[in-house]
Amino acid sequence: MNTINILGVNISTLNKQQTLEKLNQFLINGGQHQIVTPNPEILLQAGHDEEFFYILNKADLAIPDGIGLKFAGWLAGKNIHRITGADLIGNILKIAEQKKLKVAVINWKGGLSKKEDIEKVLEKKYPDLKFIVKDIECFSSTHSWIPAFAGMTRSEDSQMDYNASLQQFQPDVLFCALGAPWQEKFIYHNLPDLPSVKIAMGVGGAFDFLTGKIKRAPKLMRLIGMEWLWRLFMQPWRAKRIYNAVIVFPAKFIKYRFINKWFYRKNVIGFIFNNKNQVLLVNWIKDDDYWGLPQGGVDNGESEDDALRREIKEEIGISNFKILDKFKNIYKYKWPKRYTNRGYKGQKQTLFILKFNGDDNDIKLCPWEHKEWKWADINNLINEAHQVHQEAYKIFLEKFYEI
């Protein structure tokens, strides 16, 4: 298996040559492929953004970009080949030029490299390349490629239809330079509407190196993994981001790899019932007929009550309920070997009994968590739920009938 799991995200262990061969296969074999380039900061972001976490794991290839991931690989007994986005862009552009492929670049207008900067350098370095560069001034929920719940806004709304111009150009390769997590979310939500695109990749500020807006670290510093120190000298405002990558990430990974496996993850679960004596079940997107009660983990520093409200809002979109009772650490179980979450041994669950006071139209499923929902008769809950939950749900029913 050519991947390693780091903080819950599957990272490629292919070397650069193997990676380029894989990308060539994507271009030849057809289909659409999203490429992500996780670094320590991106993995930390994904730990607090369920949609981002889902997209990273849904990607066809997760290429490690950051010396911290290489060190994490060593600690896990695997060799990771760091491939920077700045280097990879040049390789892909060269391939596109040779194969007469079209390249589209989605650029954030507020970034260091402007549209004309990117156009100028592409014309100079890749004279036979067919390309288009589109500036995006903002992110708004009014665009079809941004769901309302994403909350991605940088400035006022723009009325430009980006998808229409890209569809007309019919690019084979799409680079998105919006920064994480916006670029990955842009690609995930747009790619189905751009059928000509075979490879789509978020590149962050990699074009800033190509245009010369930022000077790359000397080759020796890159080879010994000290490029982060060069970036700190060149861009002192990145101090917090570099602190996260150099200090916070290693500590998180050590906890994930060597400590969490001895503990149970804190989990909250909502037993939501309505006036018809029915309980709400959701079907997990990763498996067929995996029906269960909505649930989620408790973040560090978060109370169980706050975690419950957050998870219910995120997963099924409702807040119109009343908490009738709470049963702390009522059930504990180990995860199967094939599945772990953030490296924990299993989960210990706190049960909340909730009376739903809203309307069925209020229920809005999170698309990367669940694919269906239904009301099940409380007396038939055990039969309606997936067998893996049935032992726990017998205990939950007993508590429900006690209140």
Tell me the per-residue pLDDT of 225-250, one tens digit each, with 9 for 90 and over: 777 767 767 777 777 877 888 889 99
pLDDT at residue 1, rounded to an integer: 64
Residue 60 pLDDT exceeds 70:
yes
Q: Please give the helix or strand (H or E) that residue 35 lies within, else none.
A: strand 33-36
Quickly count helices (H) and strands (E) in the chain.
16, 15
What is the Cα–Cα distance from 218 to 111, expressed in whole angstroms? 24
pLDDT at residue 151, rounded to an integer: 37
What is the Cα–Cα distance from 80 to 6, expressed in whole angstroms? 11
What is the Cα–Cα distance from 165 to 160, expressed in whole angstroms? 9
Q: Which of 70, 87, 92, 85 is nearest to 20 (CA)?
A: 92
In sign, the C-alpha dihedral spanning 378, 380, 385, 388 is positive
pLDDT digits (tens, 9 = 90+) for 358-383: 999 999 999 888 999 999 999 999 99
| Mean pLDDT score across all residues of the chain | 87
Half-sphere exposure of 340 (CA within 13 A, CB side): 18
> Considering all CA atoms of the chain, what is the largest pairwise distance in Å, rounded to the nearest integer?
75
Q: Which two tokens stand for residue 388?
A: 């893996």
Stated pTM of the model: 0.84
pLDDT at residue 30, rounded to an integer: 80
pLDDT at residue 276, rounded to an integer: 94
Report the percentage of the chain scoring pLDDT > 90: 65
pLDDT at residue 140, rounded to an integer: 43
Of 45-54, 99-108, 214-223, give the lowest mean pLDDT range. Answer: 214-223
pLDDT at residue 359, rounded to an integer: 93
* More confident: 309 or 110: 309
Q: Which of 270, 268, 267, 272 is nearest to 378 (CA)?
A: 272
pLDDT at residue 320, rounded to an integer: 93
Of 73-82, 133-142, 231-240, give the lowest mean pLDDT range. Answer: 133-142
Q: What is the mean pLDDT of residues 205-222?
A: 82
Q: Which residue has tokens 């772990």?
A: 340
pLDDT at residue 86, rounded to an integer: 82
What is the CATH topology of the domain spanning 264-402?
A: Nucleoside Triphosphate Pyrophosphohydrolase (3.90.79)
Question: Which segments of the chain belong to CATH 3.90.79.10?
Answer: 264-402
Cβ-contact 267, 297 below 8 angstroms: yes
pLDDT digits (tens, 9 = 90+) for 144-163: 334 332 333 333 333 345 66
**Chain-centroid distance, C-alpha 1:** 21
